[in-house]
Each structure stands twice: as structure tokens, then as C-alpha cells.
Amino acid sequence: MKRLSDSVAVFFIRMLRHALPVFLCFLALLPAQALFPSKALAVDVVLVSSNMRYIDFTQHIKRVRQDIYDFAIQNTGDETMYLTLELSHPDIFHIATYPKLDIPFNLRLIGSDDTEIAPEDAMSNEIDWEVPPGATRRYILHGDIPGKTKFWLWNPDYKSEIEKNRFYFHQFVLVALIFVAMLALVVAHLRNRRRLIIPSLFALSFVVIMLVRWQIFMNYLDMNDLRLAMVLMSVALIIAHFSLMDMSAVSKRYWRRVILNVDTILLVVILGWVTQFFYPDFLGAMTVDWLEMFLVIPSILLCLAVVISLKLPEN
């Protein structure tokens, strides 16, 4: 019995002696797998062509490790495909209240054809490149990219068209709102309706906020101007609430409803911006545009309320 146990022990020792080199080789390969995981991970090849507008690229790009992403693209068309990869970026309202969010992305794109592309501005959240017809390319994206970032792949022609339409829409909305708000303010002054001055100024404060925000996009103004406009709008909001105390019963009931509706819309907008902070682009690629349009509604509501309130009795 003792001989049998001794032979079994010898057998296991011999097996371990042969298995030990294999085990050590396996351990030696582990750092390489951790260092170059992109070769072991399969990535989806995204098919693009000239009729593409934009796609949610987040599900097609794989995070290899912190600040390194891996993806592959195949141009199925007969022409060179120009592409723009856009990263979700904190809106300027977030940057104005928390400046640390405005950090440089330092993007750099390395292709399997040994090309290396970087935007001209380190703060840019976009990177442009081209893919030859029929070619398949694999890319590694480096940069200081926040963990919850969403990625959007755009056709640059469609993106420029969207931006041009957005510019004209902004100008139309601003001109219309300024005209209506100024008309309400002038009418209130000419008819000596002092109770309408505050709501009119409140409506104009929304116009100023949107005007400053859109001018920042065109590099005409900076964040300090937006911060000042936000302070002025907050002061106008407080004055508008206190001004209800000096109104007649009829006017007070009317303006209480108006201010309540404005407060509700503002609360929805604030919740939307908070959600955008934690879940970027939760409404899609046009999330910021949607939230921006919600901010237009209080101004329209106040301007219309001022005009309609002219029919209310003064006392």
C-alpha cells in the first residue's frame, strides 16, 4: 500500500514538473493580453456609404482601456467617404456653472493604414478623416475622453446642413421674440400699465440668455457674458415673483397662473440639463437643441401673456 501511494506521489510530482513551464508561459502572456487587448477583442465593422446621415456610434466602438477606443469602418460606396466622429460635449450652461468640465479632449486617431489624425484644436470634440472607396480600416482613438461619453458618426455634408439650418432658425426665433417682447414693453409703457413692465423685462431676459448662448457658438461672446446673463435672469425671476404682491386680485390670479406655468417649464428645462450632465445625449444627437427649444417656450408664453393682459382692468 505504501509503495502504491509513493508511486502516485511521484507521478503527480512529475506531472507538475512538466506542467510548470506551461503555466509560467501562460502567466507571461497575461501582461501582453492586458497591454494589447484590441487584438483579442472582436469589433463590429460599420458599413458606411454616401447616403449615410449620422448614426449612434456608441454601440459600435469598444473601450479597450481608459481613454483608448477601438472601432472598424468599411466604405461600401464607390467614392471616398468623408466622416466626422463627434463626442458628446458638456453644453455651455454646464461649462458656465462648472468650468472644470471644459477640459481639452486631445483627440488622436490612428488607422490600420498607419495614418494619424488629430484636430487642430485640442479642445475640439470632433475629428475628421476619410476612407477610400471599398476600403476597410481599423482605428484606435486616443484622448482624454470622459467615461459616459456618447459617440456620433456624421456625414460632414449633412452635419454642415444641420448647422446652417440651426443658424437660420436661431436668427428667426431671436428676431421674432425680440420684436414681440419689445412690442409688449412699448405698449405697456404707452398705456401706463406699470404692472406689465416686469413681465416684459422677464420675457426679454430669456431672449438675452438665448442670444448670448448662440453668440458664444459664433465666438462673439465668452462664458463671462453668459454668467452675467444668467444672473440677470435669476434677478428678473425673483422680481417677477415679488411683483405679484402689488397687483389687483384679477391681475394676481392671472399672473399667478402665468408665472406658475413658467416655473414649471423652467423646472423641466433644469431637470433636462441635469439629466444631460449625467446621461449625455439622452434624447439623441439633437438633445441640446431640444433643451434649447424648451427654453424658448417661457419667453413666448410671457410675451403672449403681456399682450393678452392688456384687456385686464387696471384696478
| 86 or 232: which leads in pLDDT | 86
Mean predicted lDDT score pLDDT of the chain: 77
Instruction: Tell me the mean pLDDT in the region 21-37.
Output: 43
DSSP label of 145: -
Q: Which residue has cell 384696478? A: 315
User: Which grid cell sits at 35?
Assistant: 497591454
CA atoms of 292 and 214, how far apart (whole Å):
10
Confidence at residue 156, expressed as pLDDT on a 0 to 100 scale: 92
Confidence at residue 71, expressed as pLDDT on a 0 to 100 scale: 94
Percent of the chain with pLDDT over 70: 77
Confidence at residue 146, expressed as pLDDT on a 0 to 100 scale: 84
Instruction: Tell me the mean pLDDT in the region 281-305.
Output: 80
- Asked whether the beta carbons of 253 and 70 are under 8 A apart, the reply is no
Q: pLDDT class for 313, splitting at 50, 70, 90?
A: low
Which of 73-77, 206-210, 241-245, 253-257 is predicted least confidently? 241-245
What radius of gyration do the chain's Cα atoms show?
Answer: 30
- pLDDT one-digit tens code per residue, 46-77: 999 888 898 999 989 998 888 899 999 999 98
Q: Name the amino acid, one letter, at 21.
A: P
- pLDDT one-digit tens code per residue, 88-141: 887 778 888 877 777 889 999 999 888 899 998 888 889 999 999 989 999 999
Please provide the DSSP assignment of 169-209 as one string: HHHHHHHHHHHHHHHHHHHHHHTT-GGGHHHHHHHHHHHHH
CA atoms of 287 and 272, how far apart (whole Å):
9
CA atoms of 186 and 201, how far apart (whole Å):
11
